[in-house]
Amino acid sequence: MPQFTVVKKLVISLCQEGIALGTGKTARAFKGIAFGVSVLAVAGCAASGDPGSTPTTLSGGETCPSIRSNLLQLDKEGVQALVERQNSGKKLSPAQKAKADLYNRLLDKYLGARCHV
């Protein structure tokens, strides 16, 4: 993955710059930024999949904005916390599990159709 090498160099550069500035607030800020960039880069690489793959088509009249709207509504209801609990192996009620599963399905459709690009 050539783009990952570039991100790795950027993260290392930011970390070294932060360390060179000392152990104060500025260094912690640079380290935090470097960590954030690396997390976003890895998430972007994981979400994009194979660069040559084609986006999945949405069915049943679904559109990227409609899926995004549903995801935002579930976010407002706090479903992301339920997804995190489910992923960490904690028990959920059947209703909570259904919402977490719905969120995951919608997110898979959203990313698969490359609505985020």
In a domain, 59, yes or no: no
Q: Which of 71, 77, 97, 95 is nearest to 86 (CA)?
A: 97
Over the stretch 16-67, which tens digit does the pLDDT of each residue have? Answer: 555 554 555 555 555 556 555 555 555 555 555 555 567 778 888 889 999 9
Percent of the chain predicted with pLDDT > 90: 39
Domain membership flag for residue 58: no
> CA-based diameter of the chain, in Å?
56
pLDDT at 1: 43
Q: Are 99 and 90 in contact (CB under 8 A)?
A: no
Q: How many domains does the chain have?
A: 2
Residue 25 burial class via C-beta count within 10 angstroms: exposed 0-12, middle 13-18, buried 19 and up: exposed
- What phi and psi, each to the nearest 5 degrees, are found at residue 79? -70, -25
Cβ atoms of residues 47 and 116 within 8 Å: yes
- pLDDT at 45 (0 to 100): 54
> What's residue 58's pLDDT?
83
Q: What is the pTM of this model?
A: 0.54
Q: Can you give the residue range of the structural domain that contains 32?
A: 2-48
Q: Is residue 42 a part of any domain in this protein?
A: yes
Asked if residue 37 is part of any domain, the answer here is yes
Q: Which two tokens stand for residue 87?
A: 């992923």
